[in-house]
Amino acid sequence: MNLHFIIIAGFFVPAVLGMFSTTIVDYLHGLENDCASKSGASKNDVELARKNKFIPDNQKMSEFAKCMLQKFKVMNPDGSVNQNIMEYEVPSDVPNIKEQVSETCKTRVGQNDNESARNIMNCFFERNQLVLAYE
């Protein structure tokens, strides 16, 4: 009986986890495409941010970061930082780590909403929080 369970789990667990990963990646790509379109950021700009795990200091990428953080409910529609980390919709498979990272990163407020967005996104990147798809 136990052997059958192990064999079945060996086949189904990777399939389920693979579907979950693909779903998250597809979800993030959808957000990225929408925010790139709204901000005017190019695909190349987004790819560089993904590769370097860093949002550069330019208007389009700052707007891109703000859009992404608004989608994750880290920033409010008015550009202010949402102080309630329990409302954040940043993908994570480790909720306690996400909460710790969110508590730290939400304090990275800049002189305006774009600078805040850039600072917060870069803080998430520095702590390996998934804010852009990994592909």
The CATH number covering residue 108 comes to 1.10.238.20
Q: Please indicate, yes or no, if residue 132 is contained in any of the structural domains.
A: no
Query: Does residue 135 fall inside a structural domain?
Result: no
Domain boundaries, position 66: 2-126
In a domain, 117, yes or no: yes
Is residue 134, in this structure, part of any structural domain at all? no
Query: Do the domain assignments include residue 21?
Result: yes
Question: What pLDDT score was predicted for residue 7?
Answer: 42
Looking at the domain assignment, is residue 13 inside a domain?
yes
Confidence at residue 48, expressed as pLDDT on a 0 to 100 scale: 97
**Contact, 109 vs 74, CB < 8 A?**
no
Helix intervals (H) in the chain: 2-39, 43-52, 59-71, 95-105, 113-126
> Are residues 124 and 101 in contact, defined by beta-carbon separation less than 8 angstroms?
yes
Q: Is the whole-model pTM more than 0.95?
A: no
The number of domains in the chain is 1
Per-residue model confidence (pLDDT) at position 126: 96
Task: Give 52's Cβ-side CA count (13 Å radius).
Answer: 11
Q: How far apart are CA 33 and CA 69, in angstroms?
A: 14
Q: Report yes or no on 133 lying in a domain.
A: no
| 57-93 residue pLDDT tens | 999 999 999 999 999 999 999 999 999 999 999 988 7
61 falls within a domain: yes
Per-residue pLDDT of the chain (135 residues; tens, 9 = 90+): 554 444 444 444 444 444 446 788 999 999 999 999 999 999 999 999 999 999 999 999 999 999 999 999 999 999 999 999 999 999 887 778 889 999 999 999 999 999 999 999 999 999 999 899 986
pLDDT at residue 94 in the model:
77
